[in-house]
Amino acid sequence: MSQTLALLGGTPVRTKPFTSWPIFGKSEEKSLLRTLRSGKWGRLDGPETAKFEKRFAAMHGCKHGIAMVNGTVSLRIALMAGGIRAGDEVIVPPYTFFSTASAVVEANAVPVFADIDLDTFNLDPKAVEAAITPRTRAIIPVHFAGQPADMRAIMALARKRKLLVIEDAAHAHAASSRNRPAGSLGDVGSFSFQSSKNLTSGEGGIITTNDDELAASCRSIHNCGRIPTGIWYEHHVISGNYRLGEFQSAVLNCQLDRLESQTSTRDRNGQYLAKRISVLPGIYPQKRPSDCTRHSYHLFMLRLDGREFGAPRAGVLKALQAEGIPCSAGYGWSLHQQPMFRNKAFGPYLPNASKRLNYRKVNCPNSDLVCREQCVWLEQSIFLGTRADMDDIANAFEKVYENRDELKA
Ligand SMILES: Cc1ncc(COP(=O)(O)O)c(C=O)c1O
């Protein structure tokens, strides 16, 4: 192997592609054809969504699963069902996808940003505590990258103050904390099945909960405000049609058969890679707390301290990509720095609260640091490969480190 960086004309560490996504086979084909031929394509007509809800909920330690069109709507419905009202404050991390906070605005509530922990990339419970005000009604911890947030500390805070806890588990299918599945750790869980996710039907989402009342409310809100004892044209609460269709559930039922073994493979490979590359100066893979009994590795994340490593992130990413390792910097900004928040472009939402809000003043230095300078992401499908794949990635990191002086400029 040439020691010259591929970026500078050397031979890349890796030329073979990594595992691609999505993975599907004959079972999906058969299931989709069966659904097509049945003519029962809607949630209320066929068996697939009802079956998927039961299986997914059971697998995630919950009595109830309510499947819906995506993992953004599921967050908003969880907030509505949980009794969040206009102007209530909801604590969210700034290091997450847009929806964690946009769903709060769409529920007419105020997102309040609390910083992440620099080692785990998850909400820092101390920052959450400091962000609580008399208006706070809920917390949305994100199990970022698929590693459960510090739910022990967050639930303790929430119980003391009677706050609703919605887990944003969009990355955390089959992840667990102290052997309890994500989605059953708070009051209600929200998952996404969008294309990139570890369980996918292109688009989709689900709410999980053990609370009968919350479940009934979510089910009603996702189904035009209907109730089980009502007639078809009888609508009880503000709501909409957010039901998941049968084709998507037909796919999800097959994907679910693979989830357990895929999650074990990702977790094994992710831990192996973390161990191999963490010996390099300035490389800090996402720290795994002892409570984390399974990481679903929707993303493999690390912090790259450019000063300690000896080269800045932009150059390292380019060099790794040239070595055949797909990787990226992830989010460019903390969420509160997105134009929507900076400009309070909330449309019809928050007409009163919006006057007192100034997202330009939010102070979340850990999130800013990882966005601006340090974070490196590798995507989940890579971790469905072999140990040799992990060795290629680790070898590429080592090669880039050895040649770091070439990347200083
Ligand atoms: C952390 C997080 N929350 C929520 C969502 C929203 O899910 P969806 O794309 O299904 O609406 C995503 C999706 O990318 C996400 O990453």
Mean pLDDT throughout 97-117? 98
Nearest CA to ligand 1 atom 16: 97
Mean pLDDT throughout 169-190? 98
Mean pLDDT throughout 332-348? 96
Distance 299 CA to ligand 1 centre (A): 13
Distance 1 CA to ligand 1 centre (A): 40
C-alpha to C-alpha distance for 170 and 208, rounded to whole angstroms = 12
Q: Which two tokens stand for residue 321?
A: 């990509």
Written as one string, the DSSP assignment of 309-353 is: HTS-HHHHHHHHHHTT---B---SS-GGGSHHHHTT--TTS-TTH
User: Is pLDDT larger for residue 356 or for residue 141?
Assistant: 141
Residue with tokens 């709060």: 104
Nearest partner of 154 among 146, 165, 169, judged by Cα: 165
Nearest partner of 141 among 121, 120, 165, 160, judged by Cα: 165
Written as one string, the DSSP assignment of 138-162 is: EE--B-GGG----HHHHHHHHHHHT
The values of phi and psi at residue 66, to 5°, are -125, 105
Give the ligand 1 atom nearest the CA of 203. 10
How does the average pLDDT of the chain come out, rounded?
Answer: 97
Integer CA distances (angstroms), 68 to 59, 77, 245, 269, in order = 18, 10, 8, 31
* Axis-axis angle for helices 26-38, 246-277 (nearest 10): 160
C-alpha to C-alpha distance for 407 and 409, rounded to whole angstroms = 6
Mean pLDDT throughout 226-243? 97
Q: Which two tokens stand for residue 312?
A: 């800045």
Give the ligand 1 atom nearest the CA of 204. 10
Nearest CA to ligand 1 atom 14: 97
C-alpha to C-alpha distance for 388 and 384, rounded to whole angstroms = 11
Tell whether the model's pLDDT for residue 268 goes beyond 80.
yes
What is the per-residue pLDDT across 115-163, written as a single tens digit (0 to 9) for each? 999 999 999 999 999 999 999 999 999 999 999 999 999 999 999 999 9
C-alpha to C-alpha distance for 153 and 156, rounded to whole angstroms = 5
Q: Which of 69, 90, 97 to mutate for ligand 1's pocket (most ligand atoms within 8 Å of CB)?
A: 97
Tell whether the model's pLDDT for residue 409 goes beyond 90.
no
Mean pLDDT throughout 40-57? 98
pLDDT band at residue 1 under the 50/70/90 scheme:
very low
C-alpha to C-alpha distance for 407 and 401, rounded to whole angstroms = 10
Tell whether the model's pLDDT for residue 2 goes beyond 70.
no
**Looking at 51, 197, 344, 355, which residue is catalytic?**
197
Give the ligand 1 atom nearest the CA of 96. 1
Distance 71 CA to ligand 1 centre (A): 5
Q: Which of 59-73, 121-135, 349-363 bottoms out in mean pLDDT, i.e. has the lowest? A: 349-363
Tell whether the model's pLDDT for residue 369 goes beyond 80.
yes
- pTM higher than 0.95: yes
Distance 233 CA to ligand 1 centre (A): 32
Tell whether the model's pLDDT for residue 180 goes beyond 90.
yes
44 by DSSP, 3-state: which?
Answer: coil
Q: Work out the widest C-alpha separation in the chain, in whole angstroms.
A: 72
Dump strand ranges (E) for 148-231: 164-168, 176-177, 180-181, 188-192, 205-209
pLDDT at residue 352, rounded to an integer = 79
Integer CA distances (angstroms), 139 to 38, 155, 162, 366, in order = 42, 9, 11, 19
Distance 128 CA to ligand 1 centre (A): 21
Residue with tokens 């009502």: 230
Tell whether the model's pLDDT for residue 108 goes beyond 60.
yes
Q: Is 126 a catalytic residue?
A: no
Whether the Cβ atoms of residue 327 and residue 314 lie closer than 8 Å to each other: no
**Residues lining ligand 1, judged by CB closer than 6 Å?**
70-72, 96-97, 99-100, 142, 168, 170-171, 192, 194, 205
Give the ligand 1 atom nearest the CA of 196. 14
